[in-house]
Chains A and B, each alone.
Chain A
Amino acid sequence: MTSVVVSSPYVAPGNSLKRLMIQVIIALVPGTLAYAWFFGPGVIVNIVLAIIFALTFEAGILKLRAKPIMPHLTDFSAVVAAWLFALCLPMHAPWWLVLTGIGFAMVAGKHLYGGLGFNPFNPAMVGYVVLLISFPREMTTWYLPGSVSGETLSLAESLAYSFGSADIDQWDALSSATPLDQVKTGVGQSIPISEIRQSPLFGDYAGRGWEWIAFWWFVGGVYMLATKTIRWHIPASLLAAVMTLSLIFYLVDPEVYPSPLFHLLSGAVVIGAFFIATDPVSAATTNLGRIYYGLMIGCLIYVIRAWGGYPDGIAFAVLLANMCVPLIDYYTQPRVYGEE
């Protein structure tokens, strides 16, 4: 006989946190594979390391907080955060860099605020920004795509690099700035963009390799939209803001301001629009609020890229917008049924 009295509804839940996170992970796969295809398996090493560290940190802090461990570890939210964090790192990062970043993300960015659901800032971005500020050299050592340098590091070499057993200078010839870096430095030195783009780093529209990775992030994003894992408001408004601002300035002076397509396909705009800005916990929750939130991030990305101190600005843009979320949510409450 009815032993526990539970409140309705009594229908089987059609959705779960785990399912949602698995959808995100599935959507991350094509872009990640493209990344590894162009830049070697280093990114996979980073992802695996970040996931292991993230789960370890999460388990430890859950134990300290006397919370159930397995249900939280298996909701895969830490896996998603670690994966996104690892994608922000240079393709070859020493293990301690991964550890520091993801440790800060999990402990300070997530659990000190109360764990999943309570963090006002996107944990992956918190970890990334801490590293960017603390370890600028390591965080800006990027490598040429294999199609340019003629070789990529093998898995063994990547592992050797990660764990410091390899002579780092050995691969100096492969290191390079990212296309965004190149543009920023070039424009700073008054080199016209048409000239900067002669570099072998550049492909048809943006950075060689990067433009294809961006395409596959886009495919993953469409998959998440199709499975209703995310809604269209944030990615659409974010991309629209980046495109509009870059188009305006491109029309003003195409030799100083790169084309909208270059902005769209370079750096982390697409992955940021679909995967990072859409983190529901730290994003706005009303539909109108999400549009403002996306627009704000898009504008900030462009401002930081065009006039700020960093070549790319997703992380700072997202964190700044995170701060505005309570305000945005408060002022964008939808009209309730029956109200004028």
Chain B
Amino acid sequence: MAKLHHFHGGLQLEGHKAESVSQPLRQASLPERLILPLRQHIGDYNKPLVEIGNRVLKGEVIAATSSLICAAVHAPTSGIVSAIGNYPVPHPSGQADRCIVIDVDGEDEATRADVIDPRQLSAEEMIQRICRAGIVGLGGAAFPTSPKISRGKAQGVDTLIINGVECEPYITCDDMLMRSDAAEVIRGCGYLQQILSPQTTLIAIEDNKPEAIAAITRALGENPLANTEIITIPTIYPSGGEKQLIQILTGKEIPHGQLAFDIGLLCHNVGTCAAITRALEQDQALISRIVTCTGNNLVQPSNWEVRLGTPISHLIELAGGYQDKDDAYLVMGGPMMGFALSSDTLPIVKASNCIMVMREETIPHSPGYHDECIRCGKCTEVCPAQLLPQQLYWHARAKAYERTQEFNLFDCIECGCCSAVCPSQIPLVQYYRAAKSEIRAAHKALFKSDRARARFEFREKRLLLKKQQDEERRRLKREALKLKQVKSADAEAAPDPVQAALERVKERKAVQEENR
């Protein structure tokens, strides 16, 4: 086995994973209504392709766009489109977004699948099928998978990394997937190899998931893949972050401003691999995902294969319901990087790896009073990006955004380690998020004002040119008029133009004579 490396900092956290792995992975029942946001990925908006009243079938594309960085949305089951409009969606901003609402008819009638043996397909055809299936990275970031693969293919991939690390506490959806469907993951890994032909493939799993490691090892034994290794890595947060995992496995750092495929690496989550398998083998779109429903305010923490668009309340009911609904605090994602949800009516989306149902009193950082930074530097010790969090905090708080950029604010991966160790209990990441969005907003405003200025200047120039042209035209007209008047005056003086012409010819001849 290859030698493992370390990344800077990180934390050993209480796992809280045992709670939700005691139950087997189950299929969630269909709710009455599905709410499907048009954008469930990083990238451009989809346009709805259906109208209110249309009947849609399971797997039918209901929203798509031709943009490159995009993933289409499919109907997770059959039903009638009952509304298209703004609904609250799971997003840190808490704002509403465009959604398609489907009233489920319970038939679960599917479109006809176009099943072909994936081994017969060319790499381009495979990428196209993955694109058609609307697959995004299921680790939580939800970046569309097909552009990532095709870019990797174009640049060449040495090492394919399959991420089964799942380092955040509470989340166990990848663990449960590997335990229950290891063969699907391995086959997906094989298809990625078929597309990318990497020299090595590394499947990384944290050592706190022995069952998953055993299952994947067994599946790889049954379906051996060339140059593929399962690597057990120590449990330390955030080793599942792409940059950190790459550093652990290869010792390489992704240079500033570049991406993994720029140094010949490509990372895919195990859940994404399974989705790729389904897309290629069964022509099945991404219409469901495994969600961990857990937390200290839930009756039965467990994992469920949930259709996208299912309201969170439906999932919580399946998991036994709340212990105390009045005291519930909902988080999507894990405790370190997740975000709070304002209501349980929000739908499960492609990025929903975990729903945490917590007791409010166990949520530590309340806004308002916190101690001041004493510059102890504990945050610096744990920062996996090797930043100086306390300096960032200092400048972010003072709204000195240029200084925050000098201290590399945008290299912050928002893992939350600094906030977790801060003795003054400062919600550091909250300050960084605020600073980042302020800077982004300022950039956007600057871009807009630049564009407005450019347009204004162009218009001014155009008006000026028009004015000049008009003046020129008027001048010409005036001159022409003047000439006409002079001519008419001449005409009065010399009434015989033939005589005049003859005289002019005579004159010219005389001049020519002289010149000779």
Interface positions of A (Cβ within 8 A of B):
1-17, 19-20, 68, 71, 75, 77, 115-118, 231, 280-281, 283, 285-287, 290, 329, 333-340
Contacts and interface: CB of A to CB of B under 8 A. Distances in A.
Contacts of A337: 7-8, 243, 253, 384-387, 411
Contacts of B343: 1-2
B339 interface: yes
14 contacts: A2-B330, A7-B433, A8-B336, A11-B169, A11-B416, A13-B420, A118-B372, A283-B375, A285-B390, A287-B380, A290-B377, A337-B8, A337-B386, A339-B256
Interface in B90-118: 92, 94
A231 B382 CA distance: 14
A10 B356 contact: yes
Given A4-B366, A12-B362, A337-B411, A17 B371 contact: yes
Contacts of B373: 117
A173 B316 CA distance: 81
A72 to B, nearest CB: 8
Interface string B376-409: 1110110011111011000000000000000110
B504 to A, nearest CB: 83
Contact of B429 (A8, A71, A338): A8
Contact of B367 (A4, A11, A117, A339): A4
A14 B423 CA distance: 8
B497 interface: no
A124 to B, nearest CB: 15
Given A2-B341, A71-B369, A286 B433 contact: no
A8 B372 contact: no
Contacts, number: 169
B356 to A, nearest CB: 7
Contact of A9 (B14, B337, B369): B337
A80 to B, nearest CB: 11
A1 B374 contact: no
Nearest to B363: A10
Contacts of A3: 360
B339 A7 contact: yes
B336 A11 contact: yes
A290 B381 CA distance: 13
Interface of B: 7-8, 13-14, 92, 94, 169, 243, 253-258, 325-326, 328-331, 333, 335-344, 356, 358, 360, 362-367, 369, 371-378, 380-381, 384-388, 390-391, 407-408, 411, 416, 419-425, 427, 429-430, 433
Contact of B364 (A5, A11, A75, A333): A11
Contacts of B258: 338
B94 A336 contact: no
SS class of chain A's interface: helix, strand, loop or mixed?
loop
Contacts of B339: 5, 7-8
A190 to B, nearest CB: 46
A71 B368 CA distance: 13
Given A17-B374, A333-B388, A336-B256, A8 B424 contact: no
B372 A117 contact: yes
A283 B377 CA distance: 10
Contacts of A335: 386
A8 B330 CA distance: 12
Contacts of A17: 371, 374, 423-424
A334 B255 contact: no
Given A11-B364, A13-B420, A14-B420, A281 B337 contact: no
A330 to B, nearest CB: 9
Given A8-B339, A336-B256, A285 B364 contact: no
A88 to B, nearest CB: 21
Residue from A2, A3, A7, A340 whose CB has the most chain B CB atoms within 10 Å: A7
Nearest to A333: B388
A13 B371 CA distance: 13
B374 A2 contact: no
A9 B256 contact: no
A104 B243 CA distance: 49
B377 A336 contact: no
A76 to B, nearest CB: 12
Given A8-B416, A338-B253, A338-B411, A13 B425 contact: yes
A281 B374 contact: yes
A121 B491 CA distance: 101
Given A12-B362, A280-B376, A337-B384, 15 more contacts: A1-B325, A1-B326, A2-B360, A3-B360, A5-B94, A6-B430, A8-B338, A9-B365, A10-B335, A15-B378, A16-B425, A117-B372, A285-B375, A336-B386, A337-B8
